[in-house]
Amino acid sequence: MEEELKALTEQLHEYNERLLAIARRTRERDEEPDFFAEVKPLAEEVQAAAERWQEAAFRWIHQAQPKYVHKRQIEAAVDHMAKLSVEAFYPSVPARRVKQYSQAVAYTLALVKERLGETT
């Protein structure tokens, strides 16, 4: 269970970095994406991974009861990833909001990774 959570945490971290790069590139090009060709496939991929991560994290929290990691944080991170996976593609979305979502997700992922190291 913990190995699965570690792998999913790393995968979400990679998605988070990738979405930040997409947001930067989007701002430089300043053009709207093709929703069905670009946005939807990646958003669905990210959402599926985030949901698997949430399930694994909830099981781990229930079993290991790690300090300072709560279900609400996990839910918020999943919500932020879902928003980020769409908003990163649009230059009209404020860069500050994209950065805030990304930082919040990165913090939660780092916390989970750190606590996983303590419980294994």
Q: Can you read off the two tokens belonging to residue 11? A: 């995968």
**pTM surpassing 0.95?**
no
pLDDT digits (tens, 9 = 90+) for 5-16: 999 999 999 999
* Domain boundaries defined on the chain: 2-119
Q: Can you read off the two tokens belonging to residue 14? A: 């990679």
pLDDT digits (tens, 9 = 90+) for 43-80: 999 999 999 999 999 999 999 999 999 999 999 999 99
Distances in Å between the Cα of 17 and the Cα atoms of 4, 43, 62, 105 are 20, 14, 29, 10
Grouping H, G, I as helix, E, B as strand and the rest as coil, residue 84 is: helix
Q: Choose among 33, 5, 6, 4: nearest CA to 19.
A: 33
CATH number of 2-119: 1.20.120.440
Q: Are the C-beta atoms of residues 66 and 119 closer than 8 Å to each other?
A: yes
